[in-house]
Amino acid sequence: MMEKQTTEGGDKGQLVTFRLGHETYGIEIFKIQEVLHYQEVTAIPDAPEFVEGVIRVRDRIIPVVDLRKRFGIKDGQDAKKRIVVLDLERPLGVVVDDISRVLKLGPEDYEALPETVVGEHERRCIARVAKTDTELVIIITPEWILSSRENEALGKMGRIDE
């Protein structure tokens, strides 16, 4: 069966999909600034366990979060890790296992995630799934990867470039 790539007469949404452990996740393409090969990350003392540290990208200091650790995913593949730089209020790098592809989906391809599956913070960050002919893609709302307190604390890491 052919995977659905477009929709008839509906709005098209594009997702960049990636692997975390054994599952496929996606982020809307307009929220992604760039994808980098994994590079050395400078550790920050006393940072939360899921914060890898900071990297320098074109003279900007960007905090980096490991999404596997953030979501409590134990397994994955370190060999092909990538850093996805998100285009948020402040850039944020997130470590993923590997980039998969870009999907074009219509509104009918999305469903809300059942409330009983995740906690309150995760429900904000992972509010829905996308259905393709071959799999479910867990959609991440990047603005909610970090709580407001965590976002404020990480924002201070990059202040040397302001």
Any idea where the domains of the chain sit in the sequence?
13-161
* pLDDT single digits (tens) 97-134: 999 999 999 999 998 877 766 555 566 788 789 998 89
Fold of 13-161: OB fold (Dihydrolipoamide Acetyltransferase, E2P) (2.40.50)
Give the count of alpha carbons within 13 A of 102, CB side only. 10
- Is this structure's pTM higher than 0.85? no
- When pLDDT is averaged across residues 23-37 and rounded to a whole number, the result is 95
